[in-house]
Amino acid sequence: MGLDINTKKAKKNAFRISKERGMGASRIRVPGGYLNAEILGMVQEIAQTYGNGIVHLTTRQGFEIEGIRLEDMDEINQKLQPIIEMLEINQTDPGSGYPASGTRNISACIGNNVCPFANYNTARLAKRIEKEVFPNDLHFKIACTGCANDCAKVRLHDFGIMGMTMPQYDPSRCVSCQACIKGCKSLSVDALRMENDKIIRDTEKCVGCGVCITKCPTRALTRSKKKYYKLTLMGRTGKRNPRLGKDFLVWADEENIIRIILNTYRFVKEYISPNAPGGKEHIGYIIDRVGFEEYKKWALDGVELMPETILNECLYWDGIHFDNKGK
């Protein structure tokens, strides 16, 4: 092939540049990892026609079609169009593929479509977040998980959204079997006890996982109609200082989480280092440099927390810290 392939444009167009000159992989977003099986056939066709027949299921729940010649990008983008439309991915120029690749695919566990422990529809929220934030070139990683089991490993993301439920107790249905207490002790945080033939929940210890609800045989404990979430901030892997995200909001609602994520995009645009390689800088690095108090002002702009929401006023990440030069 010629030497006129613009690799910067290819990367932005969600094509990975491989170690073999002129070759790459076509990356396909699947918000929440949830799709119609018909799309699998479309991916297969592209892989066998334009690639080497190999498809990688990525850690972020998308596809990478390997063995792609970068000179075939325009044709492949046309083939990707029905996939993009079926998954309702935002586009700026239909037929031209993906308009950005900085903000990674929003990943999620299976959620309450299948899992009895999940407290909400993770795929639905992942798709909503996708609609709100994509396309965007800023390097954000966001993940949703249905409960405190954290099967989606959301604490390793810039934003982790963890489903919670406020257990509703009907003492008239309780038969004092203590199945909920045993379940909470063995599978969760031991937040329940029996007093005067009634279940008492330690609200400070409770993580809203819902294990007690799944163990109750008489439906004396049920999930709250209102959906609650825990929002964790600035988890990441990487070479410099990997760390787990910490709780910022507990017993939060969906609307405020969306607003905080969008506010963080504004914060990053304001404070990202002009020397950031490829225009990318981990959000946690920016907060380390600017300060958490300043970040919090941006993050909470226009946010009205519910009375039951717990806000952690100051987050500090322990472990190794690095300055902007990585010394």
Taking residue 187's Cβ as centre, other Cβ atoms within 10 Å add up to 16
Alpha carbons 150 and 160: distance in angstroms, whole number: 9
* Percent of the chain with pLDDT strictly greater than 90: 84
Percent of the chain at pLDDT > 70 equals 96
What value does the mean pLDDT take over residues 241-262?
Answer: 95
Alpha-carbon distances of 143 from 66, 162, 177, 195, 286, rounded to whole Å? 25, 9, 37, 39, 20
Q: Note the pLDDT of residue 322.
A: 57
Give the residue-averaged pLDDT of 238-264: 94
Residue 3 has pLDDT above 60, yes or no: no
Specify the pLDDT at position 148. Answer: 95
pLDDT in tens, 213-238: 999 999 999 999 999 999 999 898 88
Tokens coding 71: 């000179």
Q: What is the pLDDT of residues 36-88, one digit of tens each?
A: 999 999 999 999 999 999 999 999 999 999 999 999 999 999 999 999 999 99
What are the chain's domains?
Answer: 7-86 (3.30.70.3340), 107-164+227-311 (3.30.413.10), 168-222 (3.30.70.20)
Quick one: which of 59, 25, 28 has its CA closest to 43? 28
- Average pLDDT score over residue span 243-267: 97
